[in-house]
Structure 1
Amino acid sequence: MLQASLVSADPAAQDPETAARVAAEGVAIGSNAGAGGDPQTSVAQPVFSAGRAAEVTTSFQPLLGPAGDPGGYRAFLQSRGITFGLIGVAETYRSLRGGLRRGETGLTLLDLDVDVDLDTFAGWSGATAHATVYQIQGSGTSRSRVGNLLTVSEIEALPASRLSELWLEQSLFDERLFLRVGQLSADTEYMVSQTGILFTNGTFGWPGIFAANMTDGGPAYPLSAPTLRVKYVPTPELSFQASLIDGTPGGGNPRSGIDPQRRNPNGTRFPLSDPPLAIAEASYAYNTAPGAPGQPGTVTLGGWRRFGRVDALTPDPVSGLGRRVSGDSSVYGVIDQTVYQEPDDPNDGASVFLRASASPGDRNLVDLYLDGGIAYRGLLPGRSDDTLGLAVAVARIAPAARRLDAIAAAQGTGPAPRRSAETVLEATYQAVLAPGIAVQPTVQYVIHPGGGIANPRDPEGKRVRDATVLGLRAITRY
């Protein structure tokens, strides 16, 4: 999960969707929009996330004084409608026990975002443009150490300099309808939890069921895809959005066995001829008005459909050969709920989230997914911006895949574990050290990595052992 633009605390300088929501009376806690562009209803939404799923108002530029904007170029560009932001993420993980093998890995991500208000820049009313570029270095813990489905780090990817997003948006009807076209990522707008973006495991952003079942892992970090997105916001509390996306973000032949990040190494392939992927979602924020009788929350329902033909897990009953079936799909729901606000500071308190998704079990590795957790912002005295969280996610291996494991065990000469489900638990604490600077230690425990796959490094073919992983992340924003 990694997208959505940096914004100013001034609503007039925000993107049209955020500005429309912030300008509406009583739609958010404080002045921030929530993750995914919805009104903020999670009091524990973190100040930082590794990507741009939450609107952000902090930067370390003021700490540098005049050196924060050498030559005044940033202010000059902003006066002409051009704003940019830099997000730097550096992290290290150590696999202490279990998994494929023990050891350390390190990752760095530099994220450059550029936004252009085309009204200010060129007199084009209601239009904005955006671009995102990544520079990724290092190696991932899930690939090289743990072997699990629910990726330990949300920024894990192959080293590359990559164009992520490049799009144009037009707002219409008093900023109630938004049309966006270009290369987009879906992981910051669909099935996003305002509380869940605190956590470092990738599944709490783009859920593991989407990454496992969609072609090439879906249009999510680090891959994007050509997209047409429509968003309608009839009231500040209610929104509808839908996207039509090229269904193969890596381009080329997804059955070739080549990693999609290698098929589209720099994000400039722009595939347009593949069967499309359609995603739609509706969100409703409640108890957002001042003096509302209950705590604020958001409920979201959605689903996706992949057109064209996909491989089934079960063979043809007559020929016994592999077969292709028509399309793939999933439905999902999300609840974000503030459960407690501190009486002396309503911007501190606790929030919970719950997400669930299901897909057909005859053509998908994962047929059922569930995650949830709790986060508390400002728990420690004098640390109002710090956030403590605990979350759990479960991805169930589909029955058809488990039957294939049983067949392989019966036909093989050695042990072949039958997969069941993968579970990950994460505890994390995000400490904000200064405007635009944060560190975040985390500990994850992975139960049955890969759902309980055999360890290729074990001569007896035993399961990959449960893994314990410690991590430390540093985030800076300019």
Structure 2
Amino acid sequence: MRRSDVRTTIPFALFAGLLALSGSPAYAQETTAVAQSEKSQNAAPATSAPSEGSPAAPASEQPSISSSVPALRDFKQALLDRGFNLQLNYTGEVFGNPTGGVRQSGIYENLLELAIDGDLQRIAGPTGASFHVNSYQVSGSGLSTCCVFNQLTISSIEARASTWLFEAWFEQKLFADMVSIRIGQLAADSEFFISDLDSFYLNATFGWPNILAADLPSSGPNYPLATPGVRLKITPNDQTTLLAAIFNGDPSGAGFTGLQEVLDPSGVNFRLRDPPLLIGEVQYKYNQDKNSAGLAGTAKLGAWYHFGKFNDQYYSTNGVSLANPSSSGVPLTHAGDYGVYGIINQMLWRLPGDDPRKGVGVFAFVSAAPSDRNAADFYVHGAINFMGLWDKRPDDAFGVAAAYSPVSPAVSALDAQSAYFARAALPIRNYEMALEVSYQAPILPGWLIQPDFQYIFHPRYGAIDPINPALGRIRDAAVFGLHTAIKF
């Protein structure tokens, strides 16, 4: 069997094995691909493992289309009773840019995810132990890649068409669940850099901020590429969480070439020899209980450090601009790279009732990194969400978000130097900005549709159109889309 055939077969063979565990082969013929793309915990476009509670929690705790189909509900419950939580999720999206970008077109992309969580206490007896595996099959092409050529990727499921292994880890909880350790194939965006409210949006930068994608080798450990790592989580009380993790620092080995999905086309490189990436985060939650007098909110502070070597964005090894003809042509290198970030989620108004998350909420994310060795040294995004305000559609949500991602001053200065020495009117890159307006409407439990509009300002930071240079900069793009997601 060819290697590509093996990669495609693994998720579905695993699914077939779990069908046998259910003890009811008839369900194999009745079960179809069902799922919801939740970007759960803003990690990947579909679901990843729940960070709280048992991975084999009752099916009723998460919206699922299986609740509307008795045969599917019974099938899933049979697996849950044996300690397995099976999730089969489908996400489909249509996007088009009638104006702007490099070319105007429309695309359809879709993602099928298989995820399995196992409660090892139910399965085999060890207390506090669990595992998680999920894989994706991606089809279609993304609008950012084919048409707009922008940096703030329009869709969070956009990836090279392939079958991907994402996360595969073992977790052990200790000291009455106050401490937990994960080890295996991990993604940072499963638990770090997450706002409780930004999973509503479709643009990928609201799940993995563009400053990280620009500044970390292979864009960092995020969808679709996880990497070997170890994560420690400490929860001393209900309000406070401490997270720390170490990852292999270059998931694919592509560095900053942009070829990470080419060099690791299925997520199975399992690299261990690259300089590590260390991330730490402190989280504080308040007024989370339905009986709290105040409005719910969360504050997070974090930092990351990469132990690799990073090229200067402006200077060569002989101390002059890389654009200067007298330059050595070899960038000055720096030992290590780092960044800091902060996140705030805050409800502004709470709908009367039992759910403290319904009402009007805002969130903001801000991050900074050194300007000499990074393509991006500052980034900010934020949004306002309106959740469950219409009594006839109590689970609908509406929101408006914006992200601003400037290039570092060193990059702009190098562009200016390049124009000077070329004696040409070359563009100076400055920033890219994305505005997103979205409405999410559940059709059934576990099935939703989401009309979406995005406007991309200064695609690729205001660079020249690479297909038609005579047109000047890539034009601002208006993007219309429709997202649907089904969750089993």
Q: Give the TM-score normalised by structure 2.
A: 0.84
Question: Could you tell which deviates more after superposition, 188-197 or 433-442?
Answer: 188-197
Q: What is the RMSD of the two structures over their aligned residues, measured on CA atoms?
A: 2.0
The answer for the alignment partner of 1:432 in structure 2 is: 442
Q: CA offsets, 1:209-228, max 9 Å, x none?
A: 01111110110000000010
Unaligned ranges ≥5, structure 1: 1-33, 38-47
The answer for the alignment partner of 2:138 in structure 1 is: 136
Alignment of 1:281 onto 2:290: no
For residue 380 of structure 1, give the secondary structure of its aligned residue in structure 2. Answer: coil
Change (3 A) 1:371 1:77: same
Q: Deviation of residue 35 (structure 1)? A: 6.5
The answer for the alignment partner of 1:264 in structure 2 is: 264
Among 154, 157, 160, the alignment partner of 2:156 is 154
For residue 188 of structure 2, give the secondary structure of its aligned residue in structure 1. Answer: coil
Alignment of 1:61 onto 2:66: yes
Q: Deviation of residue 107 (structure 1)? A: 0.9
For residue 434 of structure 2, give the secondary structure of its aligned residue in structure 1. Answer: strand
The answer for the alignment partner of 1:14 in structure 2 is: none
Distance 2:200 2:231 in 1: 26
Change (3 A) 1:235 1:36: farther
For residue 295 of structure 2, give the secondary structure of its aligned residue in structure 1. Answer: coil
Q: Give the alignment of 1:333-344 within 5 angstroms.
A: 333-343=342-352
Distance 2:430 2:180 in 1: 42
The number of residue pairs the alignment matches comes to 430
Distance 2:247 2:353 in 1: 46
Q: Give the alignment of 1:282-431 within 5 angstroms.
A: 282-289=282-289, 291-316=291-316, 318=318, 320-321=327-328, 322-343=331-352, 346=355, 348-412=358-422, 414-431=424-441
Change (3 A) 1:49 1:344: farther
Question: Could you tell which deviates more after superposition, 172-181 or 346-355?
Answer: 346-355
Q: Deviation of residue 291 (structure 1)? A: 4.4
Contact 2:48 2:134 in 1 (8 A): no
For residue 131 of structure 2, give the secondary structure of its aligned residue in structure 1. Answer: strand
AA paired with 1:275? P
Contact 1:49 1:197 in 2 (8 A): no
Change (3 A) 1:363 1:57: same
Among 43, 58, 80, the alignment partner of 1:78 is 80
Q: Deviation of residue 62 (structure 1)? A: 2.4
For residue 269 of structure 1, give the secondary structure of its aligned residue in structure 2. Answer: coil
Distance 2:424 2:375 in 1: 23
Alignment of 1:457 onto 2:462: no
Among 214, 218, 230, the alignment partner of 1:228 is 230
Question: Could you tell which deviates more after superposition, 311-320 or 140-149?
Answer: 311-320
The answer for the alignment partner of 2:19 in structure 1 is: none
Q: CA offsets, 1:2-29, max 9 Å, x none?
A: xxxxxxxxxxxxxxxxxxxxxxxxxxxx
Q: Give the alignment of 1:44-59 within 5 angstroms.
A: 50-52=46-48, 57-59=62-64
Q: CA offsets, 1:167-196, max 9 Å, x none?
A: 000000000000000001111211111111
Q: Deviation of residue 124 (structure 1)? A: 1.0
For residue 235 of structure 2, give the secondary structure of its aligned residue in structure 1. Answer: strand
Question: Could you tell which deviates more after superposition, 192-201 or 341-350?
Answer: 341-350
Q: Give the TM-score normalised by structure 1.
A: 0.86
Distance 1:74 1:452 in 2: 50
Change (3 A) 1:52 1:169: closer
Distance 2:383 2:221 in 1: 25
Contact 2:386 2:397 in 1 (8 A): yes
Q: Give the alignment of 1:196-275 within 5 angstroms.
A: 196-251=198-253, 253-254=254-255, 257=257, 259-275=259-275
Unaligned ranges ≥5, structure 2: 1-38, 52-60, 320-326
AA paired with 1:338? M
Distance 1:392 1:110 in 2: 28
Distance 1:174 1:54 in 2: 18
Contact 2:48 2:115 in 1 (8 A): no
Contact 1:139 1:157 in 2 (8 A): yes
Q: Deviation of residue 346 (structure 1)? A: 4.3
Q: Deviation of residue 457 (structure 1)? A: 2.3
Q: Deviation of residue 345 (structure 1)? A: 6.1
For residue 117 of structure 2, give the secondary structure of its aligned residue in structure 1. Answer: strand
Distance 2:45 2:442 in 1: 11
Distance 1:420 1:282 in 2: 32
Change (3 A) 1:238 1:218: same
Contact 1:338 1:350 in 2 (8 A): yes
AA paired with 1:111? E
Distance 2:465 2:264 in 1: 30
AA paired with 2:181? L
For residue 250 of structure 1, give the secondary structure of its aligned residue in structure 2. Answer: coil
Change (3 A) 1:35 1:354: farther
The answer for the alignment partner of 1:97 in structure 2 is: 99
Contact 1:379 1:388 in 2 (8 A): no
For residue 339 of structure 2, give the secondary structure of its aligned residue in structure 1. Answer: strand
For residue 158 of structure 1, give the secondary structure of its aligned residue in structure 2. Answer: coil
